[in-house]
Amino acid sequence: MSDTPRTRTIRTDYLARVEGEGAMYVRLDGEQVADVKLRIYEPPRFFEAMLRGRAFGESVDITARICGICPVAYQMSAARAMEDACGVAIDDGPIRDLRRLLYCGEWIESHSLHVYFLHAPDFLGYPGAIEMARDHREVVERGLQMKKAGNQVMTVVGGREVHPINVRVGGFYRAPTRSELRTLVDPLERAREIALDTVRWTTELSFPDVDRDTELVALSDPGGYPIDLGRIVSDRGLDIDPAGFDEHIVEEHVEHSNALHARMRDRGAYLTGPLARYNLAGDRLRPTALEAARAAGLGPQCTNPFQSIVVRSVELVEACDDALALIAGYEPPGRPWVEVEPRRAVGHGATEAPRGMLYHRYEIDDDGTILDARIVPPTSQNQLAIEADLRAVVETHMHLPDDQLAHRCEQAIRNHDPCISCATHFLTLTVDRG
């Protein structure tokens, strides 16, 4: 930290508890926030290039490598996009159910990591999980038990805990038996209880009074809470098939980041993720999760990003409950995949990664060779909205000393669980006070 009469700069070597690497820069001009920039080093660009020339079936295994926390999201968006290109839609039946079950496992893993290890310290007043763990061992133990249930779903349905190997375009290589799925019932029932306790626990936390007015975008699945498929809708009237993504959402290169920032054409920033899903589809939660939300004082709308920890906890209940229902109704498919014949076409796929909507678009040749790939992860869609949140935080907390202001900014970023790359864990934070 350096101080001069004109300029103060805060530099922290990394922003803890954000997956990935990147940097944040805030410049103050007197009492005005002159500039807020979130810089992201984003691996999808590298993967897009790598996908070109590969076989369409390889897309699910290659893109799964983009993220260690949400590989299933990449696999599901890729599979749906390839199936779309080839004229196949797996919108119901046992293969779809298995996909959704696998996706529930990923939501449980990812959300439990965020709720108990990354976000909880912000509300309990600790700099990080390690310091929190010394006083609140029960939070860590809950998190570990919860995450383990997710791991077990991933192992049974996906073939292993991370980077599932059982997923293919058209379905799965092997369908689990009913008795294999039954082994998941006990851990998931316990996890659902823990999740319900966690929702109740969030009522003891205090939240800064923040009300954000950002366009919210999520998938809309008429059959339930959005996870694995649906149209793309917003609270400002957007209602499109994933194929219409390009028409309504533009991606722009910005100087300070090698990531592309997505924005709604003509409107600007928008937010995807738990808050968007809850506001747009909260009424489609299963009864257990909906009751838990109401009992915790969560109304039909929630626009305070700090309360995303409550929404994530509600989604943990939903994912456990949904997974249990899928297991109870499971009839193994005759064959665990449908034939997908390549043809020269463009396909689109959008699913709800734990941290927000993930869109894939592929152009493939007659023999299935990938000609072009485009991947728009939730974090680059949320980037403008996160910057706007940061600006609001700085405006209202300018009076704080630099280190406390920096901490507030970190929290504002963490609210959105940005998976900046999963490849590294560093984010540099700089605040210039002119």
Other C-beta atoms lying within 10 Å of the C-beta of residue 412:
24
- Least CB distance from residue 92 to other proteins, whole Å? 33
Q: Is the dihedral of CA 414, 419, 421, 423 positive or negative?
A: positive
- Least CB distance from residue 433 to other proteins, whole Å? 25
Pairing of strands 2-3, 370-376: unpaired
CA 108: distance to chain centroid?
12
Give the side-chain half-sphere CA count within 13 A for 25: 10
Residue 429 touches other proteins, criterion: CB under 8 A: no
Q: Which stretch binds other proteins (CB under 8 A): 61-69, 181-189, 263-271, 402-410?
A: 61-69
The CA distance from 245 to 172, in Å, is 27
- Least CB distance from residue 51 to other proteins, whole Å? 13
Site pattern 147..186 for other proteins (x: CB under 8 A): xx--x---------xx------------------------
Q: Where is 140: in which H helix or E strand?
A: helix 137-158
The CA distance from 119 to 136, in Å, is 14
CA 188: distance to chain centroid?
21
Among 425, 428, 430, 432, binds other proteins (CB under 8 A): 425
Among 33, 55, 124, 140, binds other proteins (CB under 8 A): 140
- Least CB distance from residue 75 to other proteins, whole Å? 16
Residues 326, 47: contact at Cβ < 8 Å?
Answer: no
Q: Where is 42: in which H helix or E strand?
A: none
Among 113, 290, 350, 358, binds other proteins (CB under 8 A): 113
The CA distance from 162 to 84, in Å, is 26
- Least CB distance from residue 154 to other proteins, whole Å? 11
* Main-chain phi, psi angles of 235, to 5 degrees: -80, 5
∠ at Cα 253 (250, 259), nearest 5°?
100
The CA distance from 24 to 430, in Å, is 6
Comparison of 148 and 182: residue with beta carbon closer to other proteins: 148
Q: How far is CA 297 from CA 114, 159, 308, 310, 400, in A?
A: 21, 39, 13, 10, 30
Among 11, 52, 137, 256, binds other proteins (CB under 8 A): 137
- Least CB distance from residue 428 to other proteins, whole Å? 11
- Least CB distance from residue 61 to other proteins, whole Å? 13
Expressed in angstroms, the distance from the first to the final Cα of the chain is 15
Q: How far is CA 430 from CA 26, 94, 130, 135, 419, in A?
A: 6, 50, 24, 31, 20
Comparison of 240 and 422: residue with beta carbon closer to other proteins: 422
For 359-412, give the DSSP string: EEEEEE-TT-BEEEEEEE-HHHHHHHHHHHHHHHHHHHHTTS-HHHHHHHHHHH
Residue 46 touches other proteins, criterion: CB under 8 A: yes
Comparison of 127 and 300: residue with beta carbon closer to other proteins: 127
- Least CB distance from residue 143 to other proteins, whole Å? 7
Q: Which stretch binds other proteins (CB under 8 A): 122-130, 169-177, 316-324, 363-371?
A: 122-130
- Least CB distance from residue 15 to other proteins, whole Å? 11
Q: How far is CA 17 from CA 198, 413, 424, in A?
A: 20, 10, 11
Q: Is the dihedral of CA 239, 244, 245, 249 positive or negative?
A: negative
Residue 269 touches other proteins, criterion: CB under 8 A: no
- Least CB distance from residue 421 to other proteins, whole Å? 9
Among 65, 182, 190, 407, binds other proteins (CB under 8 A): 65
How many residues bind other proteins (CB under 8 A)? The answer is: 31
Among 33, 50, 254, 371, binds other proteins (CB under 8 A): 50
- Least CB distance from residue 133 to other proteins, whole Å? 4
Residue 190 touches other proteins, criterion: CB under 8 A: no
Residue 141 touches other proteins, criterion: CB under 8 A: yes
Among 133, 217, 219, 413, binds other proteins (CB under 8 A): 133
Residue 266 touches other proteins, criterion: CB under 8 A: no
Q: Which residues make up the interface to other proteins (CB under 8 A)?
A: 13-14, 21, 43, 46, 50, 65, 68-69, 113, 117, 128-130, 133-134, 137, 140-141, 143-144, 147-148, 151, 161-162, 422-426
